[in-house]
Structure 1
Amino acid sequence: MGDKHESKLKALIEVLAVSTKLGLTSFGGPVAHLGYFHEEYIRRRKWLDERSYADLVALCHFLPGPASSKVGMGIGIIRGGLLGGLMAWIGFTMPSFIALVLFAFLMQGLDIGSAGWIHGLKIVAVAIVAHAVLGMGQKLTPDRNRMTLAIAAATVTLIWQSVLSQVVIMIAAGLVGLWMYRKMPASELPDLHVPVSRKVAIICLILFFALLLVLPLLRHAGIAGWLPMFDSFYRTGSLVFGGGHVILPLLEREVVPTGWVSQENFLAGYGAAQAIPGPLFTFAGYLGAMAGGAVGAVIATMAIFLPAYLLIVGALPFWSILRKSPRIQGAMIGINAAVVGVLLAALYNPLWTTAVLAPADFALVLILFIMLVFWKLPPWVIVVTGAAGGVMIELF
């Protein structure tokens, strides 16, 4: 019995150590993270076979939330059970969380919101999101129907500036996709075997939907304290499809109109988040720190990642059945196309409208974009160049 517990503890420590190493070294966004995961978890340590890894990645792209973090959680669960998933999340998330919270305290302590390099970070965010729109557009909207759906989603997002609009757009896009691709043959997909009971999975799914429903009701009832912040970040983590950059419009509508974070500090933090390794969702830690100090940082981070954990645990035992349904696949085609439109709208508002204010700003966007897309330089180089460019613009 002692050997069993010792073996489990050893597995948990190993998961924490390896995921922390990845959290310190995984630059470049979700797609790059999956490459780092494949190298470390599959090729070097052989914790999963190629087929199971591909199936897990497909599941994590289907569910809302941070794709690479969900893959890490899934591998941790397979390796060390539910606690293994928690260890994988802590290790991968902690380095970038600490870096962004320290940056938030720096921003508050020095009152540098109008400095030239901060303006440069806002311009970096324009180039990064433009690159994301280009890449996602080529992959997720390759034909006329899906491009039309993306433009429709962008139009509604720009005209209807509301938190509710994001939910309505995703539901509508899913229904359109379900109808449009209802006769599409289902893809042949492999099975994924995971050590999670269906009872535990159902409890996690019930908890996910219960929190999504109850938190806004409690907030509306006037319960104060940290509940409004937990609700905002939990809801954001529950509704993000298509990668980390899509949190930009969702979070902006949660924290800027409420006065928790100014537009200037929001965009500066988003630009800084591009320079560090690990998941982009730790941007929530920066926002929580700006709004409520260290406690706010912890609450915001836990809230935005909790839906991903509940969903990955809840979906794993049922996924092999669900994902082979042509209706589910059709709905996801529609939702993914709408995600491109939502991100395109965010590229204009708030990014473009608040960062590109003069010809010199546009010139810097072009320079950063070509460095990112054609020179394929790492994100930290783009961030440093953007900050230096912002200082030069301010001087001249």
Structure 2
Amino acid sequence: MNWIKNTALFLCSILFSLIVLEVGMRFVFPDKLAVQRDHSDPLMPRQSAGALKDPAFRSTATFDSTGLRVNPNNCANVVDRRILIVGDSNIAALFLNDGLDLSAQLAQLLNETGCVIVDSFGVAGYGPDQSVFAATHLLKAQHYDDVIFHIFADNDAGDLLRNNYPLENGRLTNTGYCHPNRSFLDRLVLPQAGRKLYYAATGKILDWHSLRHSLGDDARCLASDVTTVGSQFDQLQARAVNDLKINQANGAQAYMNDRFDVEFACQSSPVSQQIAMSKMSAIVQGVLDLATEKSFNPMFLLQPSEFDVTANHADLSQDIQTSCPNYAPTNNTDFFVQAIGEKVAMINLYDAFSDCGDCFYTMAEAGGDNHWNAYGIGVAAKELATVLAR
């Protein structure tokens, strides 16, 4: 019986050690368990309300209960103009402190000559389709004179396939969204640390999440297989093939499941381009209809991919350039330029960001992060302020 007692003592000591380690890590990393996305609305995910901290960037981003980023630079007097910006993680800008995101920098510039309020609604993982859905919802409660639809020409074309909102009578229909189900392991710091160590050691993602659909259609939510075999181009190309298969099977992926849109950069999948173009055309028309209904000036803000305009991630950029003969650094932005045409006003930041390595986070600063930084946002804010002042 001694072996049973010894085994029990050994297991209890391990369990006690894990509990002590978990408690200690919670004390050292108090923000690791914060829930950054609010999925209570089945049609519109948003950033969670309150102060969201990003330990990697040592930043604090504050959001109100509607998902709008708190803007300390908004005018507090009689308002001359209200502007809304909708978009993805570049607009949410969790990596920057309050006062440095696009809405704040734009408000600071515009309030030099007037009294302007600039609100921004950004959610990490959003595609152009979800941005229009969000604007439609927000405009029910507040009138805006201008609405700026941000597009990230890095993963937004592929988002149209991955989100896979249905087209009905030439319009996209909001049928809910897929997201990872928050499990018991997500409520513990230790498993998350172990998952990061596993990824660092093997390059493979240890995923324990199941996918849920916000309106209950869980069977439609599918995960694209992630491969770590071959070059970075090979891995991206494999994802592109899987994403198209899921789309054509009427499946949808978790809305934050982004990647560089290699099939658009390389023009290697005419079917994917055709699907995305049809949905982007519906988005443009939807923006025009919404602008007429709610009486605002619409504008698209087109942000290029860091991989296409800088050498900050030279290994990936060179891998793509040498692996696909049809690659051109303008392909991703040209897709949206063609889709939007002259139907809606557009600011294309490609030239402003070309060779601007300082506009994005570098490998040394943030690893593989591909967001613009405070300086790059400042460049965009100046471009916007110039156009809006006309």
**TM-score in terms of structure 2 length:** 0.31
The structure in which a higher percent of residues are strand is 2
State the structure with more CA Rg. 2
The structure in which a higher percent of residues are helix is 1
Higher relative contact order (CA 8 A, sep 6+): 1
**TM-score in terms of structure 1 length:** 0.31
